[in-house]
Amino acid sequence: MSWKASARHGVREAPAGLALVQDLLNTRATMAYAPDLLATPDDAQRWLTDALAAWSRVAALPAPVLLLSSADLRSVRRLRTTFEGVILAGGRTAGQDGALPPADVPVTLVPDAAGWVRIIPAGRGTRWLASALWAETLVAQQAGLWPRLKLCHNVECRAAFFDTSRNNSGVWHDVSTCGNTANLRAFRERRRLLGGTGGV
């Protein structure tokens, strides 16, 4: 199964429904090779249709057909910005008052055959999408997976990746590209400050 926004960055996909949150984050344009998948209503509709189909398979739940208007597109972009802020702030989005933006979204709690209660997204339109995203975030937090969803420390990249390092210390979505670029930049800056010469 492929989450198309995440696949274009070559990142490890987050498990289960958390991959929906990751895929939304990875719709943002990064560097020169990855255009914004929420740039136009048509682009966003293609991404959303594919993402909901992928979510439906991992969640084993039917996904609604959501048709995006221009107003809906603004809502989806705001959701993306909100989740970026939550991750960058370590679980707290700093607004003007330092508070977390409201997540007033409906969910349904349904017991399954094994006696476990499942959180099922509810609502219509982009409220259903917000419900699915927040529900998957809550499930990931309860499973201890949420801290492993990160944004690349390269500010020109910011690809969302799932950190599988043993001690959860990853900071680059790809060490060979973003990590090496940052390390080379830091090395050059240190040499400049120390008055070093030579071409690197």
pLDDT confidence of residue 48: 97
Strand partners of residue 161:
150
pLDDT confidence of residue 13: 93
* Residues of the chain where predicted confidence (pLDDT) is lower than 70: 1, 32-33, 91-103, 175-177, 179-193, 196-200
pLDDT confidence of residue 186: 53
What is the extent of the structural domain holding 89?
4-148
Q: Do the domain assignments include residue 71?
A: yes
pLDDT single digits (tens) 14-56: 999 999 999 999 999 977 667 999 999 999 999 999 999 999 9
How many Å separate Cα 136 from the centre of its chain? 11
CATH number of the domain encompassing residue 51? 1.10.3300
Threshold 0.85, pTM exceeds: no
Residues whose CB falls within 8 Å of the CB of residue 89, separated by 6 or more in sequence, listed in order: none
Which H or E run contains 150?
Answer: strand 149-151
Q: Do the domain assignments include residue 194?
A: no
Both structure tokens of 184: 């080379």
Cα distance between residue 129 and residue 132, in whole Å: 5
pLDDT confidence of residue 93: 43
Q: Do the domain assignments include residue 184?
A: no
- Cα end-to-end distance, the chain, whole Å: 42
Residues whose CB falls within 8 Å of the CB of residue 177, separated by 6 or more in sequence, listed in order: 157
